Amino acid sequence: GGAATHATTGHPTPVTSVGATAVPFHGAHQAGIITPLRAQAIGHLAAFDLASGTGRKEAAALLRRWSAAAEAMTQGRAPAGDDQIALDAGPCSLTVTFGFGRTFFSRTGLAHRAPAALVPVPRFPSDAIDPKRSDGDLWIQVGADDPLVGFHALHVLQKAAAGTAEVRWQMSGFNRAPGATARPKTVRNLMGQIDGTGNPEPTGKDFARTIFTRRGGPADQAWMNGGSYAVVRRIRMLLGPWADLTRTQQEEVIGRRKDTGAPLSAPAGASETTPMELNRFTRGGSLAIPADAHIRVAAPESNDGAAMLRRGFSYHDGYRADGTPDAGLLFITWQADPEAFIKVQTKLDGADHLTRFIRHESSAVFAVPGGAAPGEYVGQRLLEG
């Protein structure tokens, strides 16, 4: 990290604010959930399965190695045995987040300490799930504002797992680069919608309670204090049929305008922050936000208050045999209990107009422990407690 040397002049030039920004690794919560607050430009998700014969001791050693490497790289230092791939770059808001899948607990003799909330996500009627790209014993989410920094982190962590855990599946995605817009804005997804507006407000009184587990549970699950549950869904967008809709039809599928992100219940000139009014009617007498509009069906008001933080990455993995793009959303939600996602998705699968334009192709849920204190590694309270 630090100063870079200009290729032609040889003069050292300081890294820009994008490069120099470091997100703390240590804290009550792991980084990559609510820090940094804005979306990172790139993301890698990788699930690992433990190698046969690997138990709790080897898993603990791996989490120790992973945490040490993640702490160094996120703070702009070279990890042990570095390969110099990101040598010129600063930390670029790198975050590394670690999670445990259900199968981790039985494979390490820790089944009795698996959180009760870590239930498998059920199959929904519209699902087209590929089991090989789903689930996994361990999970890593890498986020960064620079592609090379992101690859470097993933590569270092994958190498550090050698002999202990093997990659089960890996997916990469992106958001807009910082500085691409004149001022910071909510990201757009590959359907062209402003995506993220209705997320819980960081200043709201229920923000932390929605996302993070609370103290006071059973003692053998105290290792999850300050933790969260990540639900990961690879959702392909059917961009051909989507493009066949008029813009007005597309707006009715979601319930918000494409340009401003304002809800269809709001008057002209409203912005994405204008509150939606589910009971407003048009002059013609129909619901301004249609009955099957995505935001109506997904809203906490329609789901007994069930809420989650959505923080995903778009993906594009080339073209399928039929010529359509293999593109969509690496949809990641963070919640204090995966039941929030299950409740909302159960409703969406039957009633949401958007269902006709997307396919859920992989699914996983991970218990993501609280952050490590200095000198500690992520998951230590589970593995050594």
Ligand X SMILES: C=CC1=C(C)c2cc3[nH]c(cc4nc(cc5[nH]c(cc1n2)c(C)c5CCC(=O)O)C(CCC(=O)O)=C4C)c(C)c3C=C
Alpha-carbon distance of 205 to 353, in angstroms, equals 31
Contacts by 122-128 with C-beta closer than 8 Å and gap 24+? 122/342, 122/346, 124/345, 124/346, 124/349, 124/360, 125/349, 125/350, 126/349, 126/355, 126/359, 126/360, 127/349, 127/360, 127/363, 128/359, 128/360, 128/361
Kindly state whether residue 237 participates in binding ligand X, applying the rule CB under 6 A: yes
- Region from 112-120, 175-183, 192-200, 285-293 binding ligand X, contact rule CB under 6 A: 192-200
Kindly state whether residue 143 participates in binding ligand X, applying the rule CB under 6 A: no
Which tokens go with 206?
A: 């229920």
- Closest to ligand X by CB, 82 or 361: 361
- Closest to ligand X by CB, 72 or 348: 348
- Closest to ligand X by CB, 368 or 372: 368
CB neighbourhood size of 185 (10 A): 15
Alpha-carbon distance of 237 to 340, in angstroms, equals 23
Kindly state whether residue 331 participates in binding ligand X, applying the rule CB under 6 A: yes
C-alpha closest to that of 331 among 353, 362, 305, 304: 362
Among 213, 345, 363, 380, binds ligand X (CB under 6 A): 345
Among 21, 197, 274, 324, binds ligand X (CB under 6 A): 197
Active site residue 195: yes
Residue carrying the six token digits 């991970």: 366
Kindly state whether residue 344 participates in binding ligand X, applying the rule CB under 6 A: yes
Kindly state whether residue 135 participates in binding ligand X, applying the rule CB under 6 A: no
What is the nearest approach in angstroms of ligand X to the Cβ of residue 354?
A: 6
What is the nearest approach in angstroms of ligand X to the Cβ of residue 270?
A: 14
Q: What are phi and psi of 361, to 5 degrees?
A: -110, -15
Alpha-carbon distance of 340 to 298, in angstroms, equals 11
CB neighbourhood size of 373 (10 A): 12
- Number of residues engaging ligand X in binding (CB under 6 A): 25
Which tokens go with 90?
A: 């600063």
Beta bridge mates, 228: 368
- Region from 84-92, 282-290, 323-331, 373-381 binding ligand X, contact rule CB under 6 A: 323-331
Which tokens go with 189?
A: 């997804």
Which tokens go with 184?
A: 């910071």
Kindly state whether residue 235 participates in binding ligand X, applying the rule CB under 6 A: yes
- Closest to ligand X by CB, 204 or 218: 204
Q: What are phi and psi of 42, to 5 degrees?
A: -135, 155
The length of the chain in residues reads: 385
Kindly state whether residue 256 participates in binding ligand X, applying the rule CB under 6 A: yes
Query: Which DSSP state fits 281?
Result: B
Q: Which of 195, 292, 337, 352 is catalytic?
A: 195
- Closest to ligand X by CB, 75 or 260: 260
Which tokens go with 339?
A: 């039941």
Among 79, 198, 290, 369, binds ligand X (CB under 6 A): 198
Minimal CB distance residue for ligand X: 198
Q: What are phi and psi of 45, to 5 degrees?
A: -115, 130
Kindly state whether residue 252 participates in binding ligand X, applying the rule CB under 6 A: no
**Stretch 274-303: interaction string toward ligand X, x if CB under 6 A:** --------------------xx--xxx---
β pairing state of 12-13 and 4-5: antiparallel
Among 91, 200, 328, 369, binds ligand X (CB under 6 A): 328
Helices within 1-101 (DSSP H only):
17-20, 56-74
- Closest to ligand X by CB, 39 or 153: 39
Among 42, 73, 191, 382, binds ligand X (CB under 6 A): 191
What is the nearest approach in angstroms of ligand X to the Cβ of residue 171?
A: 14
For the segment 348-367, give every residue that binds ligand X (CB under 6 A).
348, 358
Kindly state whether residue 45 participates in binding ligand X, applying the rule CB under 6 A: no
Give contact residues for ligand X (rule: CB under 6 A): 189, 191, 193-198, 235, 237, 254, 256, 294-295, 298-300, 328-329, 331, 341, 344-345, 348, 358
Which residues are annotated as catalytic?
Answer: 195
